[in-house]
Structure 1
């Protein structure tokens, strides 16, 4: 099977890290296609960044070149729209991490990047009906790409916030709230003594399972293909039908 993992930002280094995390987690017979869109922000740390990343994500899904798609940003940008344009499963890494955590722990906390995205993640958690399971969204002073530039500092930030979540909040699992944090999960889990869930790994494993059992995205109503209409200007390539 082919699973396309879409890094919604345009950082090639981060895409390489995401590819490595996905390939380690999946079976040898699963082909991972890791891509960044041709257009979009260098990193996603605001609503503005997130919304501008969505056309690039949809463009990659629209190619129809995989058995399943993973959106590898913790905001799950474009997830619902992507499901409208394919029958293949489409999974967001935040969604996958929350669902996996709910099967492993009663209560858990998210550790993520800059404080400004705390509200964004809290709203996302609520949209998945998980606000009663998430104890806290903990932030660090580091940007998304800082974890790539200085992994030692990144690990220390995650260690500190993860330890506070476990000791002060009784978090029974930790969710890493950025696709660029995948490499830290195993070491953190050993140190903290609770499950540490990387959304990229969770999403590709769910994708493998869905493809294995032949499940497709429902086209009955909500996720049926978009109505035929023309788009204009910069969106002319997104006309449907």
Structure 2
């Protein structure tokens, strides 16, 4: 065990600084240590599909590589998008644990409830959540997947109608699924979790706070991350074109 005060680096893989501010507020609400909040410089303004996630990954990796080579020591990285874009690649380049908010939220949901419902943004993203549930071994505990049909950018607003729409979707999910908790399927929803929980009377989990708590817990154990097999550092090789600056060096 270690008494070191952890620093968790939370990375928003979209380019919205407004969304990053809300995510940082949620992260700092539960953090026992420090939060380093970073926003991708390159990529889409929001992630709402496979294409968006694919083009967001280089900007995400850039932020991690910069931090790894910089002077600020961090104890974990949290990818603040419910699709967990670039998670496997991030684990290759990082020297500390990396989690995505979907993985963290699903893990936390199974710790506080028997069965949970996922409520996300647009219906087109439901297959992404479904795939991750299977990948993380949580599909059996998930009672259902639902979309409130609000775009990610809507959660940058303080408009009460956004809260009311999400609240209604959560109520419908609980009734339809007979579930015991709600897992919010967007990092941008994190600031609404506490208010939703009070209104619904069940745990409402957001992956931002779950991820910070879990990464701090791993840091407290002092366990190193494995760098074997598919989590080994990338093989150094030339990279041409727009991503040349991401060329990996072990030095």
Does the alignment pair 1:39 with 2:42?
Answer: yes
The answer to whether structure 1 residue 23 and structure 2 residue 31 are counterparts is: no
Q: Distance in 1 between matches of 2:7 and 2:224?
A: 14
- Partner residue, 1:100: 108
Give distance in 1, aligned partners of 2:219 and 2:159: 34
Is the CA contact (8 Å cut-off) linking 1:147 and 1:153 kept in structure 2? no
- Contact in 2 for aligned 1:166/1:192 (Cα 8 Å): no
Q: Which 4+ residue blocks in structure 1 deviate beyond 6 angstroms?
A: none
From 207, 219, 226, give the equivalent of 1:199.
207
Tell me what 1:131 maps to: 139
Tell me, in whole angstroms, the C-alpha distance in 1 between the residues paired with 2:29 and 2:164. 23
| 8 Å CA contact 1:18, 1:200 repeated in 2 | yes
2:54 to 51, 54, 70: 51
Shift of the alpha carbon at 1:150?
A: 4.7
Please show how residues 90-239 of structure 1 align to structure 2 within 5 Å. Answer: 90-239=98-247
Whole-angstrom CA distance in 2 between matches of 1:189 and 1:38:
33
Q: Distance in 2 between matches of 1:170 and 1:141?
A: 21
Does residue 7 of structure 2 align to residue 2 of structure 1?
yes
Rounded Cα–Cα distance in structure 2 between residues aligned with 1:147 and 1:86 = 29
Q: Give, in angstroms, the shift of residue 196 of structure 1.
A: 0.5
Q: Separation in 2 of the partners of 1:74 and 1:135? A: 18
Query: How many pairs does the alignment contain?
Result: 239
C-alpha distance in structure 2 between counterparts of 1:125 and 1:94, whole Å:
9
CA RMSD of aligned residues (A): 1.1
Decide whether the 8 Å contact of 1:83 with 1:217 is kept in 2: no
1:162, 1:72 → 2: CA distance? 21
Deviates more, 1:76-85 or 1:126-135: 126-135
**Equivalent in the alignment of 2:3:** none
Specify the SS of the correspondent of 2:174.
helix
Gaps of 5+ in 2: 1-5
Q: Cα deviation per residue 1:134-170 (whole Å; 9 max; x = unaligned)?
A: 1211101210011212541221122111111222211
Task: Note the C-alpha offset of 1:235.
Answer: 1.5
1:26 Cα deviation from its structure 2 partner: 0.8
Q: Whole-Å Cα distance in 2 between the matches of residues 215 and 193 of structure 1?
A: 36
5+ unaligned residues in a row in structure 1: which ranges?
Answer: none
